[in-house]
Amino acid sequence: MSDSKGFSAIYLSVGLSYLGVGLVAPLIPILLGEYGQNSFLVGLIGSTMFAAFTVASFPVGAATDRFGPKPVLIAGLIVYGVSILLFAFIHLTSLFFIVRAVEGIGASAISVATETMISRLSERGERARRMSYYALAVGIGWATGPETGALLFGIRREVPFVACCALSVIAALLAGFMIRKAPPGSTHGEAVFSVLSPRIIVPISAGAVYGYLMSSLVTLFPLYLKRDLNASETGMAGIITAVIVGTIVSQVPIGRAADRFGKRKTLLVCTVLLVGVFAVMSIHSDWRWFIASGVLAGALAGSLYPLALALIGQIVRKERLGAATSTFSLAFGIGSLIGPSASGLAMTHFDNPKWLLYLPSLLCLVFAITIITLYRRTVART
């Protein structure tokens, strides 16, 4: 078995950093609104972070392979914390664009480094379980943050941003002092793009599908519930909570199932079930049904991310995991950028809001066919 103390430090660091993310993510649009920015500009500034996250993926992956994931993780936590702190003190619109771009670079470093480190340190029979614990730490940290951030914002608007920075610094210190069995960097000179091959199409596609689902549903689903199903604010909060609960509760059992029965089989089963879940959601006429289906959607969709990373860990050589993980992050970022615009365009063009749910069902169906077609290509390396 691998070093449990090192993993505990990784999970604690990730949980603290994502608690900081949850603290301030809902507050940044509010802050921009108070400065008189319109919705389009707020959305554009938000997209800057995702764009920077996506563009930074490859250089961050190369740095991770060269210097090792531990220094990249520490640097990413510090960069992210400082960028969030700056939001409490800047007022110019141009500076918001710059700081959100820096935030995206820091977030990319945190994601790529932690995911690479977990893959490198995990033994073959525990990789999916370790990734599920990582996803659980992310989910708990993120879910705990918004309510706490709102309370701190009520005390003084700068407080949640300062708290987020402090949590990121604490996470960096934990990573520096507690993660001792950190895998070193590689001295070889392979190009980052050399990791691209048909063998990783399935996990990379899973990252893109997850990014699409997350961004499109988070952006447009509340509008669909409110405008088309007449859901109350309390009802929307209940559905969102149901999705979060489903995501958190499912991570460990699905991870254990993947280690026992195989990552490819588990990923395929989750994807096929998602096709059915989104199809059923599209025929709901009462928003209350979404509470039950939201739990299933959160549980199944939330499993795509850790299962895909665990699959990358068993396919790619350890010294190339940084590049492979950065490719996964790139796919996730592209999916996140495409999701809201593609779903919104379909809903408008066909004059049918249910395309918000039709497209995820069709996308998951195509992904399930991809898994079956490339099943033999994704066999574990010897």
In this chain, the answer to whether the domains covering 4-187 and 193-378 adopt an identical fold is yes
Using an 8 Å Cβ cutoff, are 96 and 84 in contact? Answer: no
Instruction: Give the closest residue to 62 by CA, choosing from 72, 49, 50, 51.
Output: 72
Q: Give helix 289-315 / helix 263-281 axis angle, nearest 10°.
A: 160
Delimit the domains of the chain by residue range.
Answer: 4-187, 193-378
With H, G, I as helix, E, B as strand and everything else as coil, classify residue 276. helix
Q: Which residues of 101-139 are buried (b: 16+ CB within 10 A; e: fewer)?
A: bbbbbbbbbbbbbbbbbbbbbbeeebbbbbbbbbbbbbb
User: Which CATH code fits 4-187?
Assistant: 1.20.1250.20
d(CA 153, CA 158): 7
Q: Select 193-378's CATH number: 3.20.20.70, 1.10.10.10, 3.40.50.720, 1.20.1250.20.
A: 1.20.1250.20
Tell me, rounded to whole angstroms, the distance of Cα 205 from its chain centroid: 14
Whole-number Å distance between alpha carbons of 170 and 56: 24
Alpha-carbon distance of 21 to 11, in angstroms, equals 15
Helices 289-315 and 321-349 meet at what angle, rounded to 10? 150
Tens digits of pLDDT across the chain (382 residues): 456 777 888 888 888 888 887 788 777 777 777 777 766 677 677 778 878 888 888 899 888 888 888 999 999 999 999 999 998 888 888 898 899 899 889 988 998 898 888 888 887 778 888 888 888 888 888 777 777 887 888 888 889 899 999 999 999 998 888 887 555 555 444 444 556 677 789 999 999 999 899 888 877 787 788 888 888 777 776 887 788 888 888 888 998 899 888 899 999 999 999 999 999 999 988 888 998 999 999 999 989 999 998 888 888 877 778 788 888 888 988 888 888 888 888 888 888 989 999 999 999 999 999 999 988 877 766 5
Q: From the CA atom positions of the chain, what is the Rg in Å?
A: 20
